[in-house]
């Protein structure tokens, strides 16, 4: 992308914030979502960054998400926090949940946060990493509208349903960050290929007849291919149980799509477990984790999950990130 402008963190955050507010999002909600957008761009995950801002704005306008929503928090057990996102963005709901989750987990050793009636939470690893930076081992789950058919079937029943694990080092950093969906590739990548008019690898999706296809549009009409076949379906089912059944959120089979304007709020959910690792490991967690990661890094060419994002962030802090001019044009239309 030779003519793409370069932007820095504060510039990305402010652009996203202004567009969200212009679309009808209240400033408190817009700020937390804009910050996450900038962090996502700096992690090198452009498919989930500024490219989503026009979609978010459109969804505020059509009522798929309530930009003015005020999430409500309850502590239903000593170590359990629940948040009703009130059909608003997931980010502000997760934010207020974390304010209670973090001290509870540090005090009790383990705590859970259940978020219901929310919207797309963006990059799940963005949220688990924040818990790791507080010294907690974090596991997160989020469900999505159904797009994966069980092995042997053609009708999507579960979503791409990511899970994430972030493990901290002693310096307040996520030394390991696992963040992966149950599908071979994130659905947003297929959508990106549709926007760009490019074919996709045959292993990414299945057409409506259950056959592999390189046609991105046909793949979206069919189902996403599960990673590892039945094992990927198992992961998607696990996440569906954790993020929807355990939170009381809407199942993926009943949730409206995250793309387009059809349907009302998806009302999906997120579930987080935060564990104080020193409470479970006799204060040996950091040493054990460091030794494990060093062993992996000891072989040339080996990357530990999270290394790529960390490298992208270092480069972005120095040089900024390239932003697609077409995306900037779409965002700027909301600012007129």
Rounded to whole angstroms, how far apart are CA atoms 39 and 78? 32
Q: Which residue, 130, 18, 122, 31, is CA-closest to 113?
A: 130
Supply the mean pLDDT for the chain.
Answer: 95
Q: For position 321, what pLDDT does the model report?
A: 97
Question: Other C-beta atoms within 10 Å of 32: how many?
Answer: 18
Q: Is residue 139 within 8 Å of residue 163, measured between CB atoms?
A: yes
Q: Which residue, 119, 56, 116, is CA-closest to 89?
A: 119
Question: Other C-beta atoms within 10 Å of 318: how many?
Answer: 8
Q: For position 78, what pLDDT does the model report?
A: 96
Angle, alpha carbons 296-129-184 (nearest 5°) = 65
3-state secondary structure the chain: CCCCCEECHHHHHHHHHHHHHHHCCCHHHHHHHHHHHHHHHHCCCHHHCHHHHHHHHHHHHHCCCCCCCCCEEEEEECCEEEEECCCCCHHHHHHHHHHHHHHHHHHHCEEEEEEEEECCCCCHHHHHHHHHCCCCEEEEEECCCCCECCCCCCCCCECCCCEEEEEECCCCCEEEEEEECCECCCHHHHHHHHHHCCCCCCCCEECCCCCECCCHHHHHHCEECECCCHHHHHHHHHHHHHHHHCCCCCCCCCCCCCCCCCCCCCCEEEEEEEECHHHHHCCCHHHHHHHHHHHHHCCCCCCCCCHHHHHHHHHHHHHCEECCHHHHHHHHHHHC
Q: For position 2, what pLDDT does the model report?
A: 52
Q: For position 1, what pLDDT does the model report?
A: 43
Q: For position 196, what pLDDT does the model report?
A: 87
The domains of the chain, with CATH numbers, are 1-62+306-336 (1.10.1530.10), 70-183+226-303 (3.30.1370.60)
Q: Is residue 206 within 8 Å of residue 225, measured between CB atoms?
A: yes
Q: Using 50 as the pLDDT threshold, list the residues of the chain that sit under it.
A: 1
Report pLDDT digits (tens) over 19-40: 999 999 999 999 999 999 999 9
């Amino acid at each position: 992308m030779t003519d793409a402008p370069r932007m820095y963190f504060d510039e990305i955050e402010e652009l996203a914030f202004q567009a969200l507010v212009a679309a009808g999002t209240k400033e408190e909600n817009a700020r937390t979502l804009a910050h996450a957008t900038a962090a996502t761009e700096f992690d090198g995950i452009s498919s989930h960054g500024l490219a989503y801002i026009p979609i978010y704005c459109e969804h505020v306008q059509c009522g798929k998400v309530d930009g003015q929503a005020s999430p409500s928090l309850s502590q239903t057990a000593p170590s359990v926090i629940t948040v009703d996102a009130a059909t608003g963005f997931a980010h502000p709901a997760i934010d207020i949940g974390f304010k209670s989750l973090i001290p509870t987990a540090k005090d009790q050793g383990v705590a859970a946060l259940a978020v219901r009636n929310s919207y797309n939470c963006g990059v799940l690893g963005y949220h688990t990493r924040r818990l790791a930076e507080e010294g907690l081992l974090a596991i997160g789950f989020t469900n999505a509208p159904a797009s994966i058919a069980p092995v042997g079937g053609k009708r999507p029943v579960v979503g791409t349903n990511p899970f994430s694990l972030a493990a901290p080092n002693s310096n307040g950093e996520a030394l390991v960050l696992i963040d992966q969906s149950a599908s071979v590739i994130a659905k947003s990548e297929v959508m990106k290929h549709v926007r760009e008019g490019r074919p996709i690898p045959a292993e990414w999706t299945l057409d409506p007849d259950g056959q592999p296809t390189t046609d991105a549009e046909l793949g979206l009409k069919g189902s996403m291919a599960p990673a590892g076949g039945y094992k990927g379906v198992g992961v998607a089912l696990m996440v569906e149980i954790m993020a929807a059944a355990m939170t009381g959120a809407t199942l993926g089979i009943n949730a409206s799509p995250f793309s387009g304007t059809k349907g009302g709020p998806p009302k999906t959910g997120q579930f987080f477990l935060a564990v104080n690792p020193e409470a479970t490991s006799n204060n040996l967690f950091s040493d054990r984790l460091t030794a494990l990661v060093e062993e992996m890094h000891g072989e040339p060419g080996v990357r530990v999950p999270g290394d790529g994002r960390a490298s992208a962030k270092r480069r972005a802090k120095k040089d900024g990130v390239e932003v697609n001019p077409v995306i900037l044009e779409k965002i700027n239309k909301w600012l007129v």
